[in-house]
Structure 1
Amino acid sequence: MSKHLLCLALCFFSLKTQAQQSDFSNINFTKADAIANKYKGATLESLPILSYNLTSTLKTDVEKFRAIYRWVCANIENDYYAYLKNKKTRNKLKKDSLKLATWNAYFTQKTFKRLLKEQKTVCTGYAYLIKELANLAEIKCEILDGYGRTADVNIEELSIPNHSWNAVQLNNKWYLCDATWSSGIYDLNHYSFKYDYNDGYFLTDPNLFVKNHYPVNTKWLLTDTIIPITSFLNGPIVYPTTFKQAIVPTQPVTLHLEVKQNQEVIFLLKEGNPMDTSNITIEMTSGTYKTSVKPTINKNSDELLEVKHTFDKRGFYDFHIKLKEEYLITYTVKVEKK
């Protein structure tokens, strides 16, 4: 095999090898996190200086990237109103490619200016800043554009690309992360952004990441096989807590289920972070109807959690698997007469 072909083969392998945070279970991120906190409030006037301050005393690339990632998540505010304006305009122009391209260029320029001046941005700005700071530390990092899926976007029907995140190369493997969704949430009740770091979006298992991230270029799925876009659109809905717990729903694979009355359904979950399964509940809603029950839970021979529920009442329900009061996974279930 020629040297050129060998290089291509190795590059392809490094993209496809499963990569996630557990690869670095031997690394203590305490120092990296402390450095990120030490420079909290630093300006973006000089990105080279900021990158140097965050990384120069750290030995490994993963620690350096961790300090960069934690700093960005703790210091950059999600500009919710800019996001809404961009979403509205892009949807309006989606059938006119020239006008859409002009708007994208204008909005991107405006986004970067506001990022540097006010430290407010949307997903594109987060991804840009992560890439720039990482590259300055001589860490390979790419911006990935694609589709983000929430409870009301990219459900069964594909939108135009609506989200950006990053891939970073560490120890010759590529990893996925999303600083936008790690950083916090916008509190609509108080019209303010709330920093609430979610470590679940940092070097995430690709099999979980694809549940609500789908790149335009499918090589950046980083899954063992290419997951079709239909699986992304039609799968169950996942939430921030799903990522905090690193839980991957594996069965059923579709959002919408049809079952017979008194039929038992087994929901399979791949457990990431250990959790107290006694805190798992099932919530079913239909209009004003709402009920919560404790499911039967055990582990099967493949070490997957089996969450079992028997549907004894006909109707159409939103079916939520919850951990305490937080949503983990949502299905819709139509229960028909046996």
Structure 2
Amino acid sequence: MTPKKIVFLLLINVIFLYSSFAQKYNAVDNIVLKYPKSFSTTEKLAERIEKDFTSDYDKARAIYSWIALNVRYDYAAFLNPPKTQGFSYRSEAEKQRKIQALNDQMVEKAFKSKKAVCEGFTVLYQHLASLVGIKCEIVRGDSKTRLVDIGRKNTSSNHAWNMVLIDKKWRLVDVTWGQGYYDSSKGRMANDFSSVYFDTDPDYFFAKHFPDSESYLGDKLSKEDFLNGPLIYNKTIEKDYKIKSPDSGIIEVRNGDKITFEIKNISKSDQFYYLNKRNQPVKITNGRERKGGLEFQITFDNTIGEYITFFVDTNSIAAFKIVSK
């Protein structure tokens, strides 16, 4: 390869990396990136945020960014959770005081140690939001993150997230997932800031979260849709790859059946494919662009395994469970 070609390829790579970096962080994030990794108190951090931002929306985003950039998920604590602290009380007021004291301890531990599980992330977010005058709630419920979660029979209370009231509208926030993800190939947490779980579209949010209350702002949510829906990923939310068809994440087929899919915002020019059961990529070649998306068919045969996951470039966007009749 000639020196000119090498320089050109390096330049293209630099441009691509810069573009990816620029897309990852917005104007608020870029200011927060310059903050110290540690503040002496949560009040000092809140003062800095109030100094730098005027709107509640930007303040809420700044809290999200600082936590996601600086607090790591404590996977060791997840695997070996501490014993639940019990306490006695004589009145509701005393109960609330003791709960508040436990929450204060959790906030301090997450803030000082820079490590937490989802409960620590949510109480720290709520605490900082209260310091800048933003109303914030903690919601507990189920999460959907793995292929085996498609078609589960029951929900469980295994996760927590926040809702913040901004401009008279409740916004959904999951700062735990904003800080990174579990890399199963390496057996550890990967730090990878993502903004998609700040003010997430409820349709996408509740495809991956199901509250214990089974409702959102007074409206009942469908447990069946949550349990049986396809598994979606961060890139699905970021690029608005809405799945228009099929309706369910569980597909019952016989050998030779054609399965029709339609996904929004994908075009024929995209590097779009799925993995067969040998983890080999199979490019989608029969796609038809239709109403701002791509409609295509997959013929079920013995090369397709129990799950089928679709990718754009190297990013997984949707997975379905295949049930052979």
TM superposition score category, shorter chain reference: 0.7 to 0.9
Match of 1:317 among 278, 289, 306: 306
Does structure 1 retain, via aligned residues, the 8 Å contact 2:150–2:249?
A: no
Does structure 2 retain, via aligned residues, the 8 Å contact 1:200–1:245?
A: no
Match of 1:263 in 2: 257
Query: 2: distance between equivalents of 1:58 and 1:141?
Result: 18
Asked whether 1:300 is paired with 2:290, we answer yes
Match of 1:46 in 2: 41
Does structure 2 retain, via aligned residues, the 8 Å contact 1:282–1:321?
A: yes
Higher mean displacement: 62-71 or 225-234: 225-234
Match of 1:330 in 2: 319
Closer/same/farther in 2, CA of residues 39 and 265 from structure 1, 3 Å limit:
same
- How big is the shift at 1:326? 2.5
AA of the residue aligned to 1:248? K
Closer/same/farther in 2, CA of residues 115 and 276 from structure 1, 3 Å limit:
farther
Q: 1:44-193 residue pairs with structure 2 within 5 A?
A: 45-86=40-81, 111-151=106-146, 152-153=148-149, 155-187=151-183, 193=189
Closer/same/farther in 2, CA of residues 295 and 229 from structure 1, 3 Å limit:
farther
Match of 1:228 in 2: 222
AA of the residue aligned to 1:311? F
Match of 2:248 among 245, 254, 273: 254
- How big is the shift at 1:114? 3.0
TM-score by structure 1 length?
0.73
Closer/same/farther in 2, CA of residues 316 and 69 from structure 1, 3 Å limit:
closer
- How big is the shift at 1:277? 5.0
- How big is the shift at 1:320? 1.1
Q: Deviations over 1:227-252 (max 9, x none)?
A: 31121111111223323333232322
Does structure 2 retain, via aligned residues, the 8 Å contact 1:111–1:122?
A: no
Match of 2:271 in 1: 279
Match of 1:20 in 2: none
Count of matched residue positions in the alignment of Structure 1 and Structure 2: 285
- Residue 65 of structure 1 aligns to a residue whose secondary structure is helix
Closer/same/farther in 2, CA of residues 282 and 295 from structure 1, 3 Å limit:
farther
Q: Deviations over 1:207-263 (max 9, x none)?
A: 1111110111233278xx633112111111122332333323232232321224443
- Residue 35 of structure 1 aligns to a residue whose secondary structure is helix
AA of the residue aligned to 1:293? K
> Which runs of no fewer than 5 residues in structure 2 stay unpaired?
1-24, 85-98
AA of the residue aligned to 2:121? Y
Higher mean displacement: 202-211 or 311-320: 311-320
Match of 2:205 among 209, 212, 221: 209
TM-score by structure 2 length?
0.76
- Residue 247 of structure 2 aligns to a residue whose secondary structure is coil
- Residue 86 of structure 1 aligns to a residue whose secondary structure is coil
Closer/same/farther in 2, CA of residues 108 and 279 from structure 1, 3 Å limit:
farther
Closer/same/farther in 2, CA of residues 77 and 289 from structure 1, 3 Å limit:
closer
Closer/same/farther in 2, CA of residues 174 and 249 from structure 1, 3 Å limit:
same
Higher mean displacement: 46-55 or 275-284: 275-284
AA of the residue aligned to 1:129? L
Does structure 2 retain, via aligned residues, the 8 Å contact 1:40–1:75?
A: no
- How big is the shift at 1:162? 0.4
Query: 2: distance between equivalents of 1:183 and 1:276?
Result: 33
Q: Deviations over 1:167-214 (max 9, x none)?
A: 112221111121111101244666654321112212111111111101
Query: 2: distance between equivalents of 1:58 and 1:275?
Result: 39
Q: Deviations over 1:100-125 (max 9, x none)?
A: xxxxx899787545313311000111
Query: 2: distance between equivalents of 1:233 and 1:291?
Result: 27
- How big is the shift at 1:312? 4.9
AA of the residue aligned to 1:160? S
- How big is the shift at 1:295? 4.2
Match of 2:237 among 243, 250, 264: 243
Query: 1: distance between equivalents of 2:298 and 2:217?
Result: 32
Higher mean displacement: 321-330 or 289-298: 289-298
- How big is the shift at 1:139? 1.4
Query: 2: distance between equivalents of 1:262 and 1:51?
Result: 60
For the aligned residue pairs, the C-alpha RMSD in angstroms reads 3.1
Does structure 2 retain, via aligned residues, the 8 Å contact 1:316–1:335?
A: no
